Structure 1
Amino acid sequence: MNQEDIKSFTISIYTENNIGLLNRISAIFQRRHINIESLTTSQSEIEDVNRFVIVVNLTEDHANKIVKQIEKQVETIRAYYHTEEDTIYTESCMFKIKSSLLFEEPQIQNIIKDSNARIVTVNKDFFVLEKSGRRHEIEELRKEFNKFGIMQFVRSGRIAVTKDEMKVSQMLEEFKNQ
């Protein structure tokens, strides 16, 4: 792959919900030595149709080939790829931090306020924060909290919708009614 042509793509895959599909989809990337940066799967806008959102860094030609290969899977209804400019996307994360820091370190409260993070729960041992945003925002916040100590950290995969209408809902509804 020509390094200059590599960029981030969001691949959306609409599927039936069958056992083993995740393994077959990830194998498509593995065979091509493509690292998956982020993977999220959930119910789509149509009942009984799931949606995978996968973020990869590759060329557009490779993204197109990957999508065609994914669509060959029996359970795949439709797959698409989009650039970051074509999508509206976010990620979420949670931090678990010692409660004593919330009261002993005045910077902690400022960091929480400035980052628009939200306190989910507080008890005598720890507090949990939730933050949604772009990956770089989450990483900056993680670096700030690393200075004080993080007990646990978890980040979701990307969730995304396209800026343009995809008309996939109509196609999925027709599929469901077959």
Structure 2
Amino acid sequence: MENKTFTISVYSENNVGLLNRISGIFLKRHINILSLNVSESEIEHVSRFIIVVDTTEKWVQNIVGQIEKQIEVIKAFYHVDEETIFLESALFKIQSNLLFDERQIQNIIKDSNSDMVTVSRDFFVISKSGKRAEIDELHAKLKPFGIMQFVRSGRISVSKEKMEISTLLEDLS
């Protein structure tokens, strides 16, 4: 079996220590987490973890099974990239004088469909949402000018097909 990128969605109660136990499942199997995001879900009082890994389908099935054994976990799913709609977000902080002295930066911002978040005397901040490759490309173009700070979010995603979680929770109500 060949490695693929998988997005694991975990619906759970929001309890202290769960993230540590879930990350331990990956640690025991020596599988690196490429991206991790935790937020509220579409269901009241239920959190959703989005975990991105590069592994085989056999391993991801095993991991999802182990995650579902955690008491607080309601349900876990995995998807390949073609089954989801996903993106990441990034912020770039750059010296303000470059915005006016280097016309090329204005073109880079416009061509990359980035948004200007704030401009101050000392710096400006650009926001970019999209696929990882788009953010990497913008980073590469801005790097020669000097990036003061850079941060990227974990992947956020929704499945293209209806997730079974909705039906499962309706049945529990």
Q: CA deviation at 1:162?
A: 0.5
Partner of 2:161: 164
- Cα distance, 1:171 vs structure 2: 2.0
* 165-174 vs 75-84, which moves further: 165-174
How many angstroms apart in 2 are the aligned matches of 1:121 and 1:41? 26
TM-score, length of structure 2 as denominator length: 0.97
CA RMSD of aligned residues (A): 1.0
The within-5 A match list for 1:72-151 is 72-151=69-148
Rounded Cα–Cα distance in structure 2 between residues aligned with 1:135 and 1:92: 9
Count of aligned positions: 173
CA drift of 1:170 comes to 3.3
Partner of 2:66: 69
Shift of 1:174: 4.6
Contact 1:16/1:75 (8 A) holds in 2: yes
Instruction: Give TM-score, length-normalised by structure 1.
Output: 0.95
Could you say what secondary structure the match of 1:139 adopts? helix
Give the C-alpha shift of residue 109 in structure 1. 0.2
1:172 deviation in Å?
A: 3.0
Identical-pair percentage: 61
1:22-78 deviation per Cα after TM superposition (whole angstroms, max 9, x unaligned): 000000000000000000000000010000000000000100000000000000000
Which consecutive unaligned segments of at least 5 residues does structure 2 have?
A: none
